[in-house]
Amino acid sequence: MRIAFVSDSVYPWNFGGLETLERAEADALAKEHELHFFSLKWPGMQNEFRKDGIQYHAFHEVNTTKFYRHGRRSIREALAYTAGLLRIFKYRFDVIQTNEFPILHLPLLKVYCILTGCKLVVDVHEVWDLDYWTTYLGHYKGSAAEIYANIALGLADHYVANSKATAEKLRRMEIPNSQITVFAPTIDDRKMARIKAKEAREIVFAGRLIKEKRLDKWLEVVAKVSKVTKVKGLIVGEGPDAGQIKAQIKRLKLEKVVQLRGFYSGKEQSVLFSRIKGASLFLHMSEREGLSTVALESIALGTPVLLPSYTPIPSDVRDMCVVADEKDLPKVAARIINGEKDSFIPNRERVMQFYTSRVGAVYSEIFRKLGL
């Protein structure tokens, strides 16, 4: 079949948990099908090129400094992305697999599917309620966005939900259970098995440096832990909050404790996995999160994940992590650092449900349900 993957950002030109997941799906499906990827044009990308068996169509050069504005995704960039997707009408596909965000693009893809007989599959990682939309955009814009999002999300022929919690939210939108598959192939189990590491007393974090990740709280926890036990901290990431994070590291006098560095890219990704595997603990303070690929990667690598009790990470992943009240995090972190790592990863066997080796079988079943 001819399959189009549609996502505004794409790995490895833009690095994140969602991008990594989409690439895993695309790589697996490209072995059996003709696969095209439509995305924004990130630094280092050409307009049209072929790589690793996938045909890429990149349009509208991204201004990386404006992709997030005031801590939120840029609406202008989302509109430019949606307008650029008009070029998909030059092609014919059997299936479109698209990321739900930025949501503005979903009606356009539905029109394409109606006109061509294509099937629309939407990858859903978060379903925002009215409270979240109004907090994110303000009362009037948020209220309008919530109505639009509910309508747009209802247009798909099938949904791939990243967790049981996300699937339940889709069912509350009156989407039939028969149209929902719960699957998140975030872990390359074959690659993880090859990772070697040197043990280190280190607390790590990897992800975008945006306010929702709450690196300010992360640094406060590390500062307290470093006063009671020997430990280092590592933040791997890039984003608009990098300046504030550097300033806080200096303010807390953590220059000799915490290392801040950019993302590992391409073949260097194995170095990141090695650092995570060798670390004592992955501390994840985010207050807005989907499934959290990096938390799953940490668990698969045998490194405990510590979460605050306010975490939005779904139970599919949370049940394999250590969860504690925010005030108790330094004490719990110190206990994990000084203990046996394996004893702090409950239900570790459940991580197998996120292995990329299952992509082919899961999507074959989805295509069968779609009559393809």
Confidence at residue 70, expressed as pLDDT on a 0 to 100 scale: 66
Task: Judge if 344 and 365 occupy the same domain.
Answer: no
Nearest to 120 by CA among 153, 149, 96, 103: 96
Q: What is the DSSP letter of 43?
A: T
49 class by beta-carbon count within 10 Å (0-12 exposed, 13-18 middle, 19+ buried): exposed
Cα diameter, the chain? 64
Task: Judge if 311 and 168 occupy the same domain.
Answer: no
Over residues 20-53, the pLDDT tens digits come to: 888 889 999 999 999 999 999 999 999 999 999 9
DSSP track, 170-198: HHHTT--GGGEEE----B-HHHHHH----
Task: Judge if 158 and 223 occupy the same domain.
Answer: no
Question: Does pTM surpass 0.85?
Answer: no
Structural domains counted in the chain: 2
Q: What is the DSSP letter of 203?
A: E
- Give CA–CA dist 319/348, Å, rounded: 9
Confidence at residue 71, expressed as pLDDT on a 0 to 100 scale: 65
Confidence at residue 323, expressed as pLDDT on a 0 to 100 scale: 98
Q: Which residue has the tokens 């300033």?
A: 247
Task: Judge if 136 and 228 occupy the same domain.
Answer: no
Q: Which residues does residue 48 pair with via DSSP β-bridges, in sequence order?
A: 57
Lowest mean pLDDT among 104-108, 276-280, 287-291: 287-291
What value does the mean pLDDT take over residues 4-24? 87
Higher pLDDT, 15 or 278: 278
What value does the mean pLDDT take over residues 58-62? 90
Radius of gyration of the chain (CA): 21
* pLDDT reading at 289 higher than 90: no
- Give CA–CA dist 40/78, Å, rounded: 10
What value does the mean pLDDT take over residues 289-298? 88
Q: Which residues does residue 124 pair with via DSSP β-bridges, in sequence order?
A: 161
Lowest mean pLDDT among 31-35, 176-180, 356-360: 356-360
Task: Judge if 199 and 348 occupy the same domain.
Answer: yes
Task: Judge if 54 and 201 occupy the same domain.
Answer: no
What is the band of 249 on the pLDDT scale with cuts at 50, 70, 90?
very high
Token reading at 107: 């009606």
Q: Are 220 and 252 in contact (CB under 8 A)?
A: yes
* pLDDT reading at 155 higher than 90: yes
Task: Judge if 105 and 200 occupy the same domain.
Answer: no
What value does the mean pLDDT take over residues 156-164? 93
Confidence at residue 268, expressed as pLDDT on a 0 to 100 scale: 83
Above pLDDT 70, what percent of the chain?
99
Structural domain boundaries, residue 63: 2-185+355-369
Over residues 323-337, the pLDDT tens digits come to: 999 999 999 999 999
Task: Judge if 150 and 224 occupy the same domain.
Answer: no
Q: Are 296 and 189 in contact (CB under 8 A)?
A: no
Nearest to 135 by CA among 145, 121, 125, 126: 145
Lowest mean pLDDT among 58-62, 204-208, 335-339: 58-62
* Beta-strand runs (E) in 43-175: 48-51, 54-61, 68-69, 72-73, 95-99, 119-124, 158-161
Q: Are 186 and 20 in contact (CB under 8 A)?
A: yes
What value does the mean pLDDT take over residues 166-188? 92
What is the band of 232 on the pLDDT scale with cuts at 50, 70, 90?
very high
Task: Judge if 146 and 196 occupy the same domain.
Answer: no
Nearest to 153 by CA among 98, 202, 194, 193: 98
| Average pLDDT value for the chain | 93
What value does the mean pLDDT take over residues 185-212? 93
Task: Judge if 112 and 139 occupy the same domain.
Answer: yes
Over residues 120-134, the pLDDT tens digits come to: 999 998 899 899 899
- Here the CATH number for the domain that contains residue 40 is 3.40.50.2000
- Give CA–CA dist 24/185, Å, rounded: 7
* pLDDT reading at 238 higher than 90: yes
Task: Judge if 168 and 74 occupy the same domain.
Answer: yes
Task: Judge if 211 and 157 occupy the same domain.
Answer: no
Above pLDDT 90, what percent of the chain?
77
* pLDDT reading at 194 higher than 70: yes
